[in-house]
Amino acid sequence: MPPMESGLAIGRFARLSGLTVKALRHYDALGLLPPAAVDPVTRHRSYAPEQLDRARRIRQLRALDLPLGEIRAVLAAGGDRAARARLIAYRRDVEARVTRDQRILHGLVHLLEGDDMTHTHATRELPAEQQRQLAADLFNLVWELLERPGRSVEEDDRMVHAAHASRYHWGQVGQPTQFAIGEWQCARVYSVLGRAEPALHHARRCAEIVAGHDAPDWLVASSHEALARAHAVAGDRAQAGRQRDLAHSVLQRVTDAEEREVVESDLAGIPL
């Protein structure tokens, strides 16, 4: 088999990559896939063989309806992890769009069948004070269930739902401190239930919120405690120990004895 020439004419490059000549010209104009060389006289474009991988990747992403600007960002991402994060974000957008389209389809079916959808889809925003009360009551309900001996499976489910509902209402009317505490409680619930993956997710969200705001030291320590507990449930004793030590280190700055005692008690209960 003869070796492939160093430069591929645009027509051949289009056939090999699965893109059209028109698309290649467009991607050149956008700077997304410029040719390796352009003849100064004829203005004919030629591409290097090693550009085929990038071209095929662009074709694959366009087939997924990824916007060109997002394709540029994915290709420019510094490593597989960064590119994966952008694709995960896009997947969430697609899932949201599918959910919205399903709702529209559902509404159209009912409309065509003559159903009155006016009351079915009417929504009413709860007053802020009512949402605060719900958030606090649900938070307290979770603690009551956490401390209840011999909880049933149904009560475990109720505890999970109450923790998420409390976090939701704080998300509507609270501040970053309440957001972090809500995530912390979700992490605690999942840790108690032995569910490592959601426990780690909510513990990390708690830590992210705390890191992004001027949180009090007791809450910073609690975020480390949540991570330590979740890692312990996941079986990562080394990481659990590191997070526990970080929590104790932060606690040295807490001057309120009651706040310090609460976090220390939580740390003492981590199953290491």
At 221-270, the pLDDT tens digits run 999 999 999 999 999 999 999 999 999 999 999 999 999 999 999 999 99
In this prediction, residue 117 carries a pLDDT of 55
- Taking 80 as the threshold, does the pLDDT of residue 122 lie above it? no
Q: What percent of the chain has pLDDT over 70?
A: 94
Confidence of residue 141 (pLDDT cuts 50, 70, 90): very high
**Considering the domain boundaries, does residue 218 fall inside one?**
yes
**Considering the domain boundaries, does residue 1 fall inside one?**
no
Establish how many alpha carbons lie within 13 A of residue 108's alpha carbon, considering only the half-sphere containing its beta carbon: 6
Mean pLDDT estimate for the chain: 90
- Taking 70 as the threshold, does the pLDDT of residue 121 lie above it? no
Number of domains forming the structure of the chain: 3
Could you report the per-residue pLDDT of 14-38, keeping only the tens digit for each?
999 999 999 999 999 999 999 999 9
Average pLDDT over residues 32-53: 93
Can you give the residue range of the structural domain that contains 203? 129-268
Distance between CA atoms of residues 210 and 121, nearest Å: 36
Average pLDDT over residues 77-85: 84
Handedness of CA 142, 146, 147, 150 (dihedral sign): positive
- Taking 90 as the threshold, does the pLDDT of residue 78 lie above it? no
- Taking 60 as the threshold, does the pLDDT of residue 143 lie above it? yes
**Considering the domain boundaries, does residue 100 fall inside one?**
yes
Could you report the per-residue pLDDT of 156-185, keeping only the tens digit for each?
999 999 999 999 999 999 999 999 999 999
Any idea what the CATH number is for the domain that residue 60 is in?
A: 1.10.1660.10
Nearest to 163 by CA among 133, 180, 186: 186
Establish how many alpha carbons lie within 13 A of residue 247's alpha carbon, considering only the half-sphere containing its beta carbon: 29
Confidence of residue 271 (pLDDT cuts 50, 70, 90): confident
213 & 247 share domain: yes
- pTM of the predicted structure, to 2 decimals: 0.62
In this prediction, residue 192 carries a pLDDT of 95
193 & 167 share domain: yes
In this prediction, residue 115 carries a pLDDT of 67
**Considering the domain boundaries, does residue 119 fall inside one?**
no
108 & 151 share domain: no
**Considering the domain boundaries, does residue 27 fall inside one?**
yes
**Considering the domain boundaries, does residue 124 fall inside one?**
no
b/e sequence 91-114, b meaning 16+ C-beta within 10 Å: eeeeeeeeeeeeeeeeeeeeeeee
- 3-state secondary structure string across the chain: CCCCCCCEEHHHHHHHHCCCHHHHHHHHHHCCCCCCEECCCCCCEEECHHHHHHHHHHHHHHHCCCCHHHHHHHHHCCCHHHHHHHHHHHHHHHHHHHHHHHHHHHHHHHHHCCCCCCCCCCCCCCCHHHHHHHHHHHHHHHHHHHCCCCCCHHHHHHHHHHHHHHHHHHHHHCCHHHHHHHHHHHHHHHHHCCCHHHHHHHHHHHHHHHHCCCCCHHHHHHHHHHHHHHHHHHCCHHHHHHHHHHHHHHHCCCCCHHHHHHHHHHHHCCCC
154 & 260 share domain: yes
The torsion angles phi and psi of 122, rounded to 5 degrees, stand at: -70, 135
176 & 229 share domain: yes
Q: At how many degrees (to 10) do helices 196-211 and 217-234 cross?
A: 160
In this prediction, residue 118 carries a pLDDT of 52
The residue among 123 and 220 whose pLDDT is bigger is 220
Average pLDDT over residues 6-21: 92
